[in-house]
Structure 1
Amino acid sequence: MREILRRGSGTLLFSNPQGVLLHDTGSGAYFMSARSEDVLDKMLPGIPERPELLVGHEKWYLDRLKGQFGFERADFCVQSAWMEETPPDLPDFDGELRFLGPEWAETVYHAYSHAFGGVAYIRGAIERGMLGLFADGALAGFVGFHDEGAIGMLEVLPPYRRRGYGEVLLRAAVRLAMKQKKYPFGQIFDGNTASLALQRKMGMTVSEERLFWLTRE
């Protein structure tokens, strides 16, 4: 939430020592943290009747949000962040990194194993700055940034796995975020053990607390 406010894409709707509610104009998501029922009661009127995305940092009010706003799907994740003051080194690798242009949107959408939001979402990620890793003249993998600023959409295509390209892409994304004066952070959803192992191997700090995303897709 701090990154959303820092880069000016969020509107603070409620804030006191016990809770925060903000709206991210980029993703359309409402982000919230509440430590008591009283605070929750005060902030919920700031959310429209049918939001498309809602992110909560405490599980105790999950069922209430699902019931009040009609959500059926909840996905849990931990957060990771590069906490060092200097960016990570980029190791030598067999290939090259370059920004992808809009002509790659269809290819990336169909190659991404967790695709959502359609080709239009991938086009938006490309506009924000999506890196492609090319090996032997072909696209071997890619990484980008979600609407709210999180590093994501990291994928290495099957023929190019087990070459260390996933770590190269993650390191490159962290370096790019820091170059652009952004917080280098990501989210790892439950069950994505490969991503969790990669983040820890690289030295990212992983939160113990889990947050949840409520979506309609």
Structure 2
Amino acid sequence: MKSRALEYLIKDPLLHMGMIEPIRRDTAEILYAEIDGVLMKEEQSNAYMISVDNFEKGQELINSILKCSLIVAHQKYMIDYISNRFGLTEKLECVQAAYMDKTKIHTKEELEIRQLEPNQIEVILKHYNKLSNNEIEMLLKNGSLFGGYKNHVLIGFIGNHLEGSIGLLEIFPEYRRLGYGTILESYMINKTLEDGLVPFTQVEIENKKSIALQKKLGFKISIDKLYWLF
């Protein structure tokens, strides 16, 4: 199943990096993998992930799921069917960005970067509201969030989402436009490379500033879109 899934996904590795990496990290339960599509469930985030060659196969695979509150579809023609079947009302349209190089990024040593602790949850919730309190708690417990410190003062943070993508980049207002976002993301890229993994992230299509940052750091950006439904 694993090899069959990767054989399908590698036909468009950039678009599918968010599915490929969980398989490589052994956090994916592969539910279907054939020449016409892949359906899997990422076990850390409990997110279903689907990519198919045609609507009929997608419909068949979606019908095999009894309950779903979070799913990412890689074809636009699946959105309405998935949303209607599971009563999902929210949608994020994203591009996939992946750092396909193996070379680490040289970074300025302006910040001290270290893992954030569970007792720092309040400062994260104060500045970041895109995830539930429970998800933030899990990320802190897993050691997946990192803070940047300037003169021993926390100025922002970054981390990995539960399924492995780089995200949660937040620079506090008074420290913006000083290049600290670039430093924090470069740190995450280098850390991911050290772990033998591919750095990847997903960016909402209207977030032009973030897309520009990914390009500046050497990420390749998918032409096709993916769609988070919840």
Q: CA deviation at 1:38?
A: 3.0
| Residue from 147, 153, 158 that aligns with 2:162 | 147
Q: CA deviation at 1:137?
A: 2.2
Q: Which amino acid aligns with 2:60?
A: K
2:96 matched to which residue of 1? 79
User: Within the alignment, does 1:54 sit opposite 2:71 as a pair?
Assistant: yes
Deviation string, structure 1 residues 164-192 (Cα, Å, up to 9, x no partner) = 00000110011111112222100101321
Equivalent positions of 1:7-156 (< 5 A) are 7-48=25-66, 50-93=67-110, 95-112=111-128, 114-118=129-133, 120-126=134-140, 127-156=142-171
User: Within the alignment, does 1:159 sit opposite 2:174 as a pair?
Assistant: yes
Aligned length: 211
Q: CA deviation at 1:131?
A: 1.3
Runs of 4+ in 1 over 3 A off after TM superposition: none
Q: CA deviation at 1:36?
A: 1.3
- Take 2:56 and 2:210, find their aligned partners in 1: how far apart are those partners? 37
Contact 1:81-1:205 at 8 Å conserved across structures: yes
Residue ranges of structure 2 left out of the alignment (5+ in a row): 1-18
Residue ranges of structure 1 left out of the alignment (5+ in a row): none
- Take 1:128 and 1:101, find their aligned partners in 2: how far apart are those partners? 8
Give me the TM-score of the superposition, normalised by structure 2. Answer: 0.87
Give the SS at the match of 1:173: helix
Give the SS at the match of 2:107: coil
Aligned-residue RMSD, C-alpha: 1.3
Q: Which amino acid aligns with 2:93?
A: F
Contact 1:19-1:33 at 8 Å conserved across structures: yes
Give the SS at the match of 1:65: helix
Q: CA deviation at 1:76?
A: 0.5
Q: CA deviation at 1:123?
A: 2.1
Contact 2:116-2:143 at 8 Å conserved across structures: no
Deviation string, structure 1 residues 51-73 (Cα, Å, up to 9, x no partner) = 11011000012111111111111
Q: Which amino acid aligns with 1:72?
A: T
- Take 2:165 and 2:220, find their aligned partners in 1: how far apart are those partners? 14
- Take 1:69 and 1:86, find their aligned partners in 2: how far apart are those partners? 42
Equivalent positions of 1:133-212 (< 5 A) are 133-212=148-227
Deviation string, structure 1 residues 69-89 (Cα, Å, up to 9, x no partner) = 111111100011111112212
Give me the TM-score of the superposition, normalised by structure 1. Answer: 0.92
Contact 2:115-2:147 at 8 Å conserved across structures: yes
